[in-house]
Amino acid sequence: TTAVDPFLPPSPGSQPQPQAPLSSLVARDISAWFGTHQVLDRVSLEMAAGEVTALIGPSGCGKSTFLRILNRMHELVPSAGLAGEVELDGEDIYERSRKLTDARKHIGMVFQKPNPFPAMSIYDNVVAGLKLTGVKAGKETKDELVQRCLTSAGLWNEVKDRLRSPGGGLSGGQQQRLCIARSLAVRPRVLLMDEPCSALDPTSTRVIEETIKELRQEVTIVIVTHNMQQAARVSQRCAFFLASQGTPGVIVEHGDTDAMFGEPRDQRTHDYVNGRF
């Protein structure tokens, strides 16, 4: 190996592209209700810029609810109640003067079941990401946008010769990556993923994991997963949610992923990450 001389200018082509700084998201004392049923109790978590944060824990402990609070989808449920604060780069996303769609532009979401528009072309599915949030295309052309997003989602090489074929014709894993591409159209600052691989086969799952690892360079990611190996592989930080015997969900433990798996502080975390639950 040759050492890089720090005093020499970088060779052409090796210069990193200028990038917007990555964003961080802070949730403070989040409590949530459906009617009178409390499902989260004062949950606080910092999701740091440039990291993948994994939310783990048994079903029903409020992980999806927490995720939906992070981009203001929770309030679409008529019976929903909410207390606490969410800040994106220090700004309150729930501030009164802020429009609901504002949070969605900056904080994208990918769901468990891939949901591209099946009859729409691959190309138009990506472009639709702009329309969904009402964002105008910036300087880049539609062609550039489609190539950028499909490349970031790890799908470009597989579909570049059939951009006009319907999104519904792709495999499940490809459809999920198409949904990721669509959510990247608006250049979100944060990407929320709710069990994005739960409906996929192991091979597609690994491809999505590689995509997530690459995406961390351009967007801050929060992922809910039931797959402990996946959490260990893709995340730098981890939060363990638990709702015991009818009590609302809380975060039992959070921190560095390696520490959470290697030397958990709480016995319940230890049991959960080792499959004893």
Number of residues that bind Mg ion (CB under 5 A): 1
Minimum CB distance to ligand ADP, residue 26 (Å)? 20
Q: Which stretch binds Mg ion (CB under 5 A): 2-10, 64-72, 158-166, 260-268?
A: 64-72
Which amino acid, residue 206?
Answer: R
Classify 60 as helix, strand or coil.
Answer: coil
Which amino acid, residue 98?
Answer: R
At residue 64's C-alpha, the angle toward residues 72 and 179, to 5°, is: 75
Supply the DSSP string of 240-277, one letter for each residue: EEE--TTPPBEEEEEEEHHHHHHS-SSHHHHHHHTT--
| Nearer CB in complex with ligand ADP: 65/125 | 65
225 part of the interface to Mg ion, by CB under 5 A? no
Minimum CB distance to ligand ADP, residue 251 (Å)? 12
| Nearer CB in complex with ligand ADP: 59/245 | 59
> CB of 263 within 8 A of CB of 241?
no
152 part of the interface to Mg ion, by CB under 5 A? no
Minimum CB distance to ligand ADP, residue 61 (Å)? 4
Residue 32 has φ and ψ, to the nearest 5°, of -140, 150
| Nearer CB in complex with ligand ADP: 64/133 | 64
Mask: binding to Mg ion, 199-218, rule CB under 5 A, as x and -?
--------------------
Residues within the interface to ligand ADP (CB under 6 A): 34, 39, 59-65, 77
Which amino acid, residue 123?
Answer: Y
> CB of 43 within 8 A of CB of 249?
yes
Classify 239 as helix, strand or coil.
Answer: strand
From Mg ion, ligand ADP, none, interface partner of 77 (C-beta below 5 to 8 A by class): ligand ADP
| Nearer CB in complex with Mg ion: 64/257 | 64
64 part of the interface to Mg ion, by CB under 5 A? yes
